[in-house]
């Protein structure tokens, strides 16, 4: 069943001779439970695509539908609510709130909706990510790898339809990078989590089931890993 569908997706920055066409007619479908990697050189359109999928930015033309919702048609308030409830976001920079303990950073999407986390799932999430003993620590007391694990937990605590990861290992060393990719694989396989990973590193992309290559805002390759 289709979870994500992009139709003739275009994004142009600027006007006239100064216009930059960041995306130039992207057609893309992702089914539930897929683990997809998007690769390409710097400037190929990877991050622009992710921002449009997340509803952080709006397309110049075309459409993004996630779980049946036209994301680009949402006003900013509804887009923020949809993103919080349906799309988990993991960035290269952890974006944790330094004054909140780990458990509140993780639960923040739910707390903003005045909801209480499911204790069993929340504890399972902390256990899987190795953060049980760090739940009351502040982000500044964590290593880089632990901070990224907390960011992953925050993205997953709402059990999103789609998890978007933008260079999630970009600030980590090789050991922590491998551990983060292993965790994404674990959630993909055990929870059936749909994941779209944006990376410039084809070695990391090889962990996905399917690899899409962008160049100059267009898809130039879309192939299964196996």
pTM: 0.90
- 168-181 average pLDDT score: 80
- Please give the residue range of the domain that contains residue 15: 2-224
d(CA 203, CA 206): 5
Task: Give the CATH number, domain containing residue 22.
Answer: 3.40.50.300
Of residues 177 and 97, more confidence is placed in: 97
| pLDDT over threshold 70, residue 226 | no
| pLDDT over threshold 80, residue 58 | yes
For the segment 193-213, what is each residue's pLDDT rounded down to a tens digit? 999 999 887 778 888 999 999
Closest by CA to 30, choosing from 3, 53, 51, is 3
d(CA 149, CA 35): 19
Q: How many domains does the chain have?
A: 1
DSSP 117-148: --HHHHHHHHHHTT-GGGTTS-GGGS-HHHHH
């Amino acid at each position: 069943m289709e979870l994500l569908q992009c139709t003739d997706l275009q994004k142009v920055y600027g006007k006239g001779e100064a216009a930059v066409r960041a995306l130039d007619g992207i057609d893309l479908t992702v089914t539930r439970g897929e683990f997809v990697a998007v690769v390409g050189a710097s400037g190929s359109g990877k991050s622009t695509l992710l921002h449009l999928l997340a509803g952080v930015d709006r397309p110049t033309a075309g459409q993004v539908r996630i779980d049946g919702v036209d994301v680009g048609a949402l006003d900013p308030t509804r887009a923020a609510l949809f993103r919080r409830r349906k799309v988990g976001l993991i960035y290269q920079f952890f974006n944790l709130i330094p004054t909140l303990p780990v458990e509140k950073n993780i639960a923040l999407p739910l707390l903003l909706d005045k909801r209480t986390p499911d204790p069993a799932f929340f504890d399972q999430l902390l256990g899987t990510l190795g953060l049980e003993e760090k739940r009351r620590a502040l982000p500044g007391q964590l290593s880089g790898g632990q901070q990224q694990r907390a960011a992953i937990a925050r993205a997953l605590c709402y059990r999103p339809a789609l998890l978007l990861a933008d260079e999630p290992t970009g600030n980590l060393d090789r050991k922590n990078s491998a551990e983060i990719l292993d965790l994404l694989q674990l959630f993909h396989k055990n929870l059936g989590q749909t994941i779209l990973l944006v990376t410039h590193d084809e070695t990391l992309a090889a962990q996905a089931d399917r690899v899409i290559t962008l160049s100059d805002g267009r898809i130039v390759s879309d192939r299964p890993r196996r």
